[in-house]
Structure 1
Amino acid sequence: MRIASFNVENLFARAKVLNQESWTAGKPVLAAQAELNALLEEPVYTDAMKARILALLEILGLQRSDDSEFVRLRKIRGQLLRRPRSGPVQVVATGRASWIGWIELKTEEVDELAMQHTAMVMRDVNADLLGVVEADNRPLLKLFSEALLTKVGGKPYEQVMLIDGNDDRGIDVGVLARADYPLEAIRSHVFDTDAEGVVFSRDCCEYQFTTPGGQSLVVLVNHFKSKGYSTPGDQLGRKRRGRQAVRVAEIYDGLRAAGNDLIAVLGDFNDDPVSTALEPLIDGTDLRDISTHPAFDFGPRKGTFGSGNEKDKIDYLLLSPALFARASGGAIFRQGVWHGPRTKNPWPIYQTLTADVHAASDHAAIYADLDL
């Protein structure tokens, strides 16, 4: 059988700010939106907080209007701002309880050719169990399987499951599975907390399947906290990923203690293998990374994201010892990831992939082949 992980970066609609020529162009907007939404959750808005709220609204183009190029101010009840015709804008809300609303990223349709390439990646990887990251929702994931995958000559998946996570941007984790591997149980971890609060930015969803041989196989699909725009040096992001790694390790150890021997932990961990944030999971458990298998095929690059540099190995497929013992190999599949004409050691890409905007994703798929 084949297990795979693929960050699809949304199937039908994507945040407009992410559809620019380069990811870095949207970083200021993403950083401001994330910081502002966190500030707006504070129970009391101090004068310093109000000043920062106004500064962030200015960055986002929302001081004089509820609508800007990339974001909008959603208001359900109460009032956040007073916008006089003359004079400065004022924050009139006193805290979270005095109004209900948030800053929302605008979305737009994913490029049609990009959708086709995403389907082609799914078709060519042809996994029996495919963990997906950044999928819109279950109905659209099911529609994508039935319509787009079929359109490119692939076989639609009989089992499609996704549970809404903690991120309001429609970037959830889910799974596509063949009928030969019936889904028996699901457990979400969106409510898991530690001393700092809610652990998972999205979810660590737990899926239990039965193999054709009657064995139980548990798959944990993850999407750890992203890095790059939260704080300088990514201190908060790294700390959050560390907490998430600790909790996933605890879940894994609990499954092993309960008698589950066949376990896969996969997804986008948003950090490289030598990161201290991932140590609790990679070094603190007996999980084995499929990329350490002698028959694993990296292709011309070690990484799974963007240009494929070694530090960009952020997508993972970790296997319990019993599952790793049954692995016959694996690979990184990056034909849907764009590279420019000057890229050194380029990888093969689809002939119809002629520009970055048409890429299936910035992430390659990663898979493991198992004798089950």
Structure 2
Amino acid sequence: MSLRIATFNIENLIARFDFTGFRNQLRSDRVLKLFEIKTEIGYQQLEAARVVATTDDTRQLSALAIADTDADILCLQEVDNMESLQAFEYGYLFRMAGAGYRQKYIIEGNDSRGIDVAVLMREQTRGGERIELVDIKSHAALTYRDLSLYHSGLGPNLQPDSKIFKRDCLELDLRIGGRPLTLYVLHLKSMSNGRDGADGRESTRPVREAEAKAVRHIIENRFGVDQVSEANFLICGDMNDYQERVDVIGERRLGYRFEPVGGLSSALDILSSDGFAENVMLRRPVLDRWTLYHARGPEEQHLCQLDYIWLSPALARANPTVAPDIIRNGQPFRTPFPPGQEIERYPRVGWDRPKASDHCPVAISLHVP
């Protein structure tokens, strides 16, 4: 019995307009900065027009990328609410993939922008096995005090009663053809730009470490520390961290070279240590594991894996040779691809935008024992 599951940070599937850029230049889109806009009402009208004009292409590309995962279960990050999810599934994904994702689940989490994690599921797998939801649980209310994870290194804005998860850890108990499977969907704390020259990844790492420790606690508490290795569970989502990267050196006119950098300390070490879970992306070649291109000019650019499907030890043993697929056809043309990885982009993909997302979907076909 085969189950195909995918994870995708769909990038701001939002049903609202954000007009804060009129007063905060950091929140203003770059195209509007080309024009002299004297009134807030004028700004709002132009911003709304910009969003509406660009969204259709973006969501067509997002739907194409999702359709190419061919997933039975789809884990999404950065979804506004159920209304936006239903509108996207009906108006875009249905046109690409047909009927199928009739089971939709989203619970409001802790993100200040209102972006949540969500799960879409077919009623049965491609092979005809029934997909059933037994239970769903949010862990958004967990605090540092609850799990004794508070320390001053988390930063001045966090207190013992602050919520651990910046979005949520959504837990779904499923049955796939009668076989139990537990799914954890995450979107960990972002690697915000560091202030005063600080490294954004390192300065936010303690928050992600606490989130990763909380995930381990939830899973170990659920199955028992001694039984974790026998349980069928998956941890999916945007982890906003990496244990390795590929440095991209050079520029478009002169060409690039790609240098892997491994052994990096990461909040994700908490999930990989002691064989707790396996990052099956490591079964792919080292230059071919990336799901995001990061660049701050020619002097700082790299490819890295931010999107993960972690397998429990039991699932890893049951699928010893299976590696995930990465859908990169929706990446913008500014993304440099290592030699041999060139793909055909979807129609209307631009240099920087439109694009399917800044992230690539990851999908894998698994045998559930």
TM-score surpassing 0.5?
A: yes
Q: Is the 8 A contact 2:292 2:303 kept in 1?
A: no
Change (3 A) 1:241 1:158: same
Partner of 1:75: none
Q: Is the 8 A contact 2:293 2:302 kept in 1?
A: no
Partner of 2:121: 177
In structure 2, give the amino acid aligned to 1:149: L
| Whole-angstrom CA distance in 2 between matches of 1:343 and 1:135 | 28
Residue 207 in 1 paired to residue 172 in 2? yes
Q: Is the 8 A contact 1:182 1:211 kept in 2?
A: yes
Change (3 A) 1:341 1:228: closer
Residue 267 in 1 paired to residue 264 in 2? no
Partner of 1:306: 293
| Whole-angstrom CA distance in 1 between matches of 2:142 and 2:176 | 28
Size of the aligned set, in residue pairs, is: 294
| Whole-angstrom CA distance in 2 between matches of 1:169 and 1:256 | 33
Q: Is the 8 A contact 1:6 1:132 kept in 2?
A: yes
Change (3 A) 1:341 1:224: closer
Change (3 A) 1:342 1:291: closer
Q: Is the 8 A contact 1:111 1:357 kept in 2?
A: no
SS at match of 2:347: coil
Bigger drift between 344-353 and 139-148 goes to: 344-353
TM-score (norm 1): 0.70
Partner of 1:252: 219
Residue 365 in 1 paired to residue 367 in 2? no
In structure 2, give the amino acid aligned to 1:8: I
Partner of 2:157: none
Per-residue CA distance 1:287-341 (angstroms, 9 max, x = gap)? 0112133xx478x633111269875211111010111223333211111111238
Q: Is the 8 A contact 1:135 1:171 kept in 2?
A: yes
Shift of 1:153: 4.0
Residue 317 in 1 paired to residue 319 in 2? no
CA RMSD of aligned residues (A): 3.3
Q: Is the 8 A contact 2:330 2:356 kept in 1?
A: yes
Change (3 A) 1:236 1:329: closer
Shift of 1:245: 1.0
Please point out which of 135, 147, 150 is paired with 2:94: 150
Residue 326 in 1 paired to residue 321 in 2? no
In structure 2, give the amino acid aligned to 1:276: S
Partner of 2:6: 4
Q: Is the 8 A contact 2:277 2:313 kept in 1?
A: yes
Shift of 1:17: 9.3
In structure 2, give the amino acid aligned to 1:221: V
Larger Rg: 1
Q: Is the 8 A contact 2:15 2:80 kept in 1?
A: yes
Change (3 A) 1:11 1:153: same
Please point out which of 346, 352, 362 is paired with 1:350: 346
Shift of 1:158: 1.4
Please point out which of 197, 204, 214 is paired with 1:237: 204
Residue 217 in 1 paired to residue 217 in 2? no
Change (3 A) 1:337 1:13: farther
SS at match of 1:4: strand
Partner of 2:26: 29
| Whole-angstrom CA distance in 2 between matches of 1:169 and 1:314 | 20
Change (3 A) 1:16 1:356: farther
In structure 2, give the amino acid aligned to 1:132: L
Per-residue CA distance 1:250-291 (angstroms, 9 max, x = gap)? 112223318671100011111112333222122255201121
Shift of 1:247: 0.6
In structure 1, give the amino acid aligned to 2:199: G
List gaps (5 residues or longer) in structure 1.
20-25, 31-64, 71-106
| Whole-angstrom CA distance in 1 between matches of 2:313 and 2:302 | 25
Q: Is the 8 A contact 1:219 1:265 kept in 2?
A: yes
In structure 1, give the amino acid aligned to 2:311: L
Bigger drift between 139-148 and 10-19 goes to: 10-19
Partner of 2:257: none
Q: Is the 8 A contact 1:185 1:207 kept in 2?
A: yes
In structure 2, give the amino acid aligned to 1:352: R
SS at match of 2:292: coil
In structure 2, give the amino acid aligned to 1:239: P
Q: Is the 8 A contact 1:3 1:369 kept in 2?
A: yes
Partner of 2:59: 115
Shift of 1:201: 0.5
TM-score (norm 2): 0.70
Bigger drift between 249-258 and 123-132 goes to: 249-258
Q: Is the 8 A contact 2:236 2:310 kept in 1?
A: yes
Change (3 A) 1:352 1:202: same
List gaps (5 residues or longer) in structure 2.
28-38, 45-49, 125-130, 145-149, 151-159, 244-263, 296-300
